[in-house]
Amino acid sequence: MPSHVVIVGGSMGGLRAAEQLIANKFDGIITIVGDEQHMPYNRPPLSKDVLAAERDEQNSTLDHWHSSVAFRQRKSIADVQWKLGTPAVSSDLDSKTVTLADGEVLHYDGLVVATGLRPRRLDLPGPKSGRHVIRTLDDAIGLRGELEPGNRVVVVGGGFIGCETAATARTLGCEVHIVEPLAVPMIRPLGEEFGNTLRRVHEAFGVHVHTGVSVERAVACGDDSRRLSAVILSDGTRLDADVLIESVGSHPNVEWLDGNGLDLGNGVLCDNHLRVESRPDVVAVGDIARFPDPATGNIPRRIEHWCIPTDTAKRAAVSLIHHLNGAGEDTTVFSPLPSFWSDQFGLRLQGYGSPGDADHVSVLEGDLSNPIDDDPSALDGTVVGYYRGSQLVGVVMISPAPASARKYRDAIETSRAAVLTS
């Protein structure tokens, strides 16, 4: 009997895992289970191009939007079996089975966990309509329908996705407020000085930024108790609102793995080869995988960047195939370079490494205090270095020239390599 690998999670991580299994000569059967109806698609455009796109008769269908963001289906995965629109609800890793919501039980020889994240929701009293998150294509299309010019939009959470969504809504002509509980937007990934510069960019374009406060309550319209009309902040401020976008973090989708004795605190704990603890027939990929990286101190962590589903899938496929073939352990150290980007008001932020690990920050090129007015390109070419002691652990650039991006990417690679060989 040919081996059977079940991949749970039909998005980028699941797709890349199937491609990598086949690229590494797995010749058994692969089944991908996904709870979304759609074939895998790219999420970064959801808070950028999909939200910003003009709406007209021709492009308003779900199929149109899906085809604009869908991943290319390579010929190599033509024989993969897809079970979409049916979530996995439970699993028994001793008997090697996964149970789907429709009652079907899948038996596997190898299992790939690729179920990613779902948005955290605010527990707010008040009306539920007008409240949005943005994780799926359906979320983005639902939100796009409410971003009409003049509509009042409150974005809770000043992280990358919250700030991107705020920038897009403002560009569409909405009146936009960001509500961030910390002192500065994007302070965790970028630090105080950079975060304050991006605050100035948002304010220059007319976004109102409220920091050090949270949303306490949603208020309904007088004539319709289900419709949102305002939110009340923790300092008592009232912000009129037609739309509330909750961008306040996420939960790993791990519940279907409950009862197997795994460490599921903040994702699925794996070893450096993406094997789930004491289960060499189970690997995890993408946003849900919590794995140690010797270049960043070996503390297991999840990384929510677009590059990670591909990098982890490459490593996890090799680990699983070694196990299924009874081959000895591949001891190659896995240390993927985190890389990320964000687009806001025409600025492209490009980052490498782990800026959040820094204990001090230094502007290496340009000037974060340059005046912006309505032209943020005054910041183009700025490069900020993030240091832990004397080690460069991260770099974030604003709209860098390609040669500069390569130079600083190389610098981070060199710095990480030095840790690995020390």
Q: How far is the CB of 410 from ligand FAD (least distance, A)?
A: 19
Asked if 253 is part of the footprint of ligand FAD (rule: CB under 6 A), the reply reads yes
Given a contact cutoff of 8 angstroms between Cβ atoms, the answer to whether 26 and 79 are in contact is no
Cα–Cα dist 251/247, whole Å = 12
Instruction: Annotate each residue in 119-138 with x if it binds ligand FAD (CB under 6 A) or - if it does not, as one string.
Output: ---------------xx---
Using the contact rule CB under 6 A, the part of the chain among 39-47, 183-191, 200-208, 373-381 near ligand FAD is: 39-47
The CA-CA-CA angle for residues 317, 334, 361, to 5°, reads 135
Using the contact rule CB under 6 A, the part of the chain among 31-39, 64-72, 74-82, 357-365 near ligand FAD is: 31-39
Write the DSSP symbol of residue 77: G
DSSP-assigned beta bridge partners for residue 382: none
Q: How far is the CB of 99 from ligand FAD (least distance, A)?
A: 10
Asked if 311 is part of the footprint of ligand FAD (rule: CB under 6 A), the reply reads no
Asked if 20 is part of the footprint of ligand FAD (rule: CB under 6 A), the reply reads no
Asked if 317 is part of the footprint of ligand FAD (rule: CB under 6 A), the reply reads no
Given a contact cutoff of 8 angstroms between Cβ atoms, the answer to whether 69 and 42 are in contact is yes
Q: How far is CA 40 from CA 30, 35, 70, 137, 370, in A?
A: 15, 11, 6, 10, 41
Given a contact cutoff of 8 angstroms between Cβ atoms, the answer to whether 155 and 247 are in contact is yes
In this chain, which of 33, 133, 283, 396 binds ligand FAD, going by CB under 6 A? 33
49 or 413: CB nearest ligand FAD: 49
Integer-rounded Cα Rg, in Å, for the chain is 22
In this chain, which of 7, 9, 26, 316 binds ligand FAD, going by CB under 6 A? 9
Asked if 11 is part of the footprint of ligand FAD (rule: CB under 6 A), the reply reads yes
Across the beta sheet with 238-240, the strand order is 215-221, 224-233, 238-240
Asked if 304 is part of the footprint of ligand FAD (rule: CB under 6 A), the reply reads yes
Query: Pairing state of beta strands 175-180 and 279-284?
Result: unpaired
Which two tokens mark 102? Answer: 């429709």
In this chain, which of 30, 46, 179, 392 binds ligand FAD, going by CB under 6 A? 46
Locate tokens 């279907």: which residue? 256
In this chain, which of 7, 12, 268, 393 binds ligand FAD, going by CB under 6 A? 12
34 or 353: CB nearest ligand FAD: 34
Helix (H) or strand (E) holding 312, with range, is helix 307-324
Query: Which residues make up the interface to ligand FAD (CB under 6 A)?
Result: 8-13, 33-36, 43-44, 46-47, 87-88, 114-117, 134-135, 161, 253, 256, 286-287, 304-306, 308-309, 340-342
